[in-house]
Structure 1
Amino acid sequence: MSTRRTDPVQHPRKAAEAVRAFNHATRWASGGHPGIAYPGTVYRAVGAFATLAYRLPQAFDQIGTALADLHTAGHLTADHGTPTEHAMAVSEALREAEQHATAMAAALERAHNASSPLGYSGPIDDTDDDL
C-alpha cells in the first residue's frame, strides 16, 4: 500500500480544470472583443502549453510502468476478458498517447518560436488586463 498522503490523480484533474478555466478566460467576449488581445499573451500561453505537453510523455510512461508492475505481480483482475488483454491494450494506447504528446509538444514549440517576433500595433485598452 502506498504511503503517499496525496492521490496523484488530483494533479491531472487540476490541469484539466486549469485548461477549462483558460478556455473560459480566452473565449470571445459578448462585445466582440477577443479573449486574447495581444500577441505577447499568445506567446506566453503557447509556451505554457508546450511545457505541459513536454511533460505528458513521462506521465504516460509512469502510468504504463505502474500498470505493468501490477500485472507482473499478479495483482490485476478483469470483469471480462483477461487482465493481460486489458493491460496490453492500456499499454499500447499509452504508448500512442506518448507519441502524440511528443508530436504536440514539438508543434507547440514551433508555434511558440513563430509567435516570438510578433508585436502589437493597435490601440491599447487601458482597462484590459491581458498585458
Structure 2
Amino acid sequence: MNDPERRTDEDIERVAGQLHEHVRTLNHLTQGPPGLSEPAAAYTVLGNLAQTAFRLAQTAEQIDAFLTRELDAGRLGHDRGDDPVPAVTAAHNALGQVTEQAADLGDSFRRATSALAPIHAVDEGDKPSQDRHAVVKLVDEKNAQVRPANEDFPRTIGEVLPPSNSAEDVPPELRSPPQVPHPRRGR
C-alpha cells in the first residue's frame, strides 16, 4: 500500500477485496479436511472474528461519515440527475443497521469465545475431565438455593432506595447538559 498519508480509493477497494477473499479462504480451511483440530484454534478464530466484526462496524460508521460530509459539501450527484439526498439517506439508514448488526455479531462471537475459554482437547486414551456426578450435585445445590425473594429482602424497595430527587430539585449548574442525538436516526 502507498504511504499512509497518500492512501487512494484503489488501495481501500483492494483491501476490501482481500478481506472478502480471506474470509472465503477461512471458510474453506475451517470446513476441512483436515479443518480445525484443536479447541484452542477455534477459540482464537472466534476471538479474531469478534474483533473483525467490531472493526466492520467502525468501517460502516466511517463510510457513513464520508457520505454525509460529501453530501453536506455539495460534492455528490445522482446518475439520473435526481436529488442525491434520498439515496444517501437510504445508505445512511442501512449503514446504521450494519453498525448495530456488526456490533451484535462481534458481541456474539465474543460470547462464543468466552464460552470456549475452559475447553481443551483430550487425548484418545484420556477420559474427559468432567465429573458427571459433580454436575448433578451442582444442579441440586443450585436448586436448593432458590427461595422466595422476601426471605433475602425483608424490606421494600422504597425502604432500601434513597428518595429520588426530581430534576427541579437539582440546581441548573449541576444538571447534565442535553445530549446530542446519535446522527444515525435519519437525515
Q: TM-score, normalised by structure 1?
A: 0.82
Partner of 1:112: 113
Partner of 2:92: 91
Partner of 2:45: 45
Runs of 5+ consecutive residues of structure 2 not aligned to the other structure: 125-187
Partner of 2:19: 15
Single out whichever of 97-106 and 19-28 deviates more from structure 2.
Answer: 19-28
Partner of 2:61: 61
Q: Which of 26, 31, 45 is the equivalent residue of 1:27?
A: 31
Which amino acid counterpart does residue 44 of structure 2 have in structure 1? Answer: R
Shift of 1:28: 3.1
2-side partners of 1:28 and 1:14: how far apart? 21
RMSD (Å), alpha carbons: 1.5
> What does the per-residue CA deviation read over 1:79-113, in whole Å, with 9 as the maximum and x for residues that have no partner?
24420010000100000000000100110110000
Partner of 2:6: 4
Partner of 1:128: none
2-side partners of 1:12 and 1:114: how far apart? 30
Shift of 1:122: 3.7
Taking only the aligned residue pairs, the percentage that are identical comes to 31
Q: TM-score, normalised by structure 2?
A: 0.58
2-side partners of 1:98 and 1:5: how far apart? 24
2-side partners of 1:117 and 1:98: how far apart? 31
Shift of 1:74: 1.0
Between the two proteins, the alignment pairs up a number of residues equal to 117
2-side partners of 1:62 and 1:100: how far apart? 16
> What does the per-residue CA deviation read over 1:6-53, in whole Å, with 9 as the maximum and x for residues that have no partner?
422222222111111111112132xxxx51111111101001101111
Q: Give the ranges of 4+ consecutive aligned residues of structure 1 lying more than 6 Å apart after TM superposition.
A: none
1-side partners of 2:25 and 2:68: how far apart? 34
